[in-house]
Each structure stands twice: as C-alpha cells, then as structure tokens.
Amino acid sequence: MLNIVLFGPPGAGKGTHSVRLVEDYNLVHFSTGDILRSEIADRTELGLLAKKVMDKGELVPDDLVIGMMRNKIKQNKDAKGLVFDGFPRTTAQAEALDRLLAENDICVSAMIMLDVERQELIKRLQKRAETSGRSDDADINIIQNRIDVYNEQTLPIVDYYKKQNKFKRIEGVGSIETIFGRIQKVVETL
C-alpha cells in the first residue's frame, strides 16, 4: 500500500496536491481539516468543540483527531493507498498514526513536505480567503497564528520521520504542474 503523509504549513498546497495524488494513484484522501469542517457544518458535539479552537488557529486536541482517524483507517485498510493531508500535526499524532496503521498491518511509505516561506504562505492564504469562505483564511492574525502553531508544534514531526528515513522535502514554489512533478518523482521511488 502507498501511504503518504503530505506535510507542510497552511497554504503550502497540501489540499491541491492531495487531489492530484488521489486521481493519479487511485488513493483515498483523508483531510482532517475537511472532516472537522464537515463536523462543524453538521453541528455535532465534536464540531462545536473543534470550531472554538479552529476559529483561533489553534490545534484541536490530539485525542479527538486521533479518534476521528481510527475508524477512517480501519474502513479503508484494503484501499490501494492513503493520503494524509493535515495529519499528523503533532509528534503524538505521528506516533498514533504509526500505531493505527500497524493495527491494520500497514505503515507510512513517506512523508512529503511542501516547503514554502512565510510571506508566500500569507499571500496565498489571503488570496484563498476570497473563495474559500474560511474565516481562518480571512483574518491576518489567525493566519499568523496558524503559521506560528505550525512552526512550534507541527514542524518537530520532521525529526520523527527523518529518524525513520521517510522524510522527503520538496520545494513548494512554482506552478502546480512543476510542484506535482516533484511529488511524482518522489512517489515513483517508493
């Protein structure tokens, strides 16, 4: 199975390239952000809790996100592969992901990081706000906080995957085609 963690800061292009990976390699896409937003739209208990945190650009507690992923992985253990978009976001989540996959006799094939510098991310997220309808894209303070949270809480995961020899860094600037070409090159080595 081809199980890819597509990693990077908010605005790096994880969603865009996940869609391409899913199409080209026939994989199943898990975006924790999308799942949480649909919980909010359905006004579930989890959604109500998540909204308060997401509105500030903070992270939803690990146990909630991990619990959410447990069933999704189990239900899709016979797929050709999985793309994780926006998960894991903490080292505890990365450890949990390994455990959840091992329970189903599968593992992460690679963690692909889309590297984009801060000013470019801010520019992209402000542009995305015009069409995304996401309140966390529309407020510069929330954007700044999301990037800070990424640098402080999410970036340390790089070391976790480096130790497993699964870390692959990609330049996340250029045309969508160019960037996806870089991703394909990595995937073809797996």
Exposure b/e, 80-108, CB count within 10 A at least 16 = b = ebbbbbbbbbbebbbebbeebbeeeebeb
Pick the closer one to ligand AMP by CB: 10 or 13. Answer: 10
Question: C-beta of 178: minimal distance to ligand AMP in Å?
Answer: 23
Question: C-beta of 14: minimal distance to ligand AMP in Å?
Answer: 7
Please state the separation of Cα 188 from the chain's center in Å.
21
Pick the closer one to ligand AMP by CB: 7 or 167. Answer: 7
Local structure of 166: helix, strand or coil: coil
Pick the closer one to ligand AMP by CB: 106 or 136. Answer: 136
Radius of gyration of the chain (CA): 16
CA pair distance 158, 168, nearest whole angstrom: 9
Pick the closer one to ligand AMP by CB: 63 or 181. Answer: 63
Pick the closer one to ligand AMP by CB: 12 or 187. Answer: 12
Are the C-beta atoms of residues 161 and 92 closer than 8 Å to each other?
no
- Residue in the shown chain whose Cβ atom is closest to ligand AMP: 33
Question: C-beta of 25: minimal distance to ligand AMP in Å?
Answer: 21
Tokens of residue 163, six digits: 């130790």
Are the C-beta atoms of residues 129 and 137 closer than 8 Å to each other?
yes
Question: C-beta of 72: minimal distance to ligand AMP in Å?
Answer: 12
Question: C-beta of 64: minimal distance to ligand AMP in Å?
Answer: 8
Which parts of this chain interact with ligand AMP (CB under 6 A)? 10, 32-33, 36, 53-54, 57-60, 65, 86-87, 89, 93, 136, 146
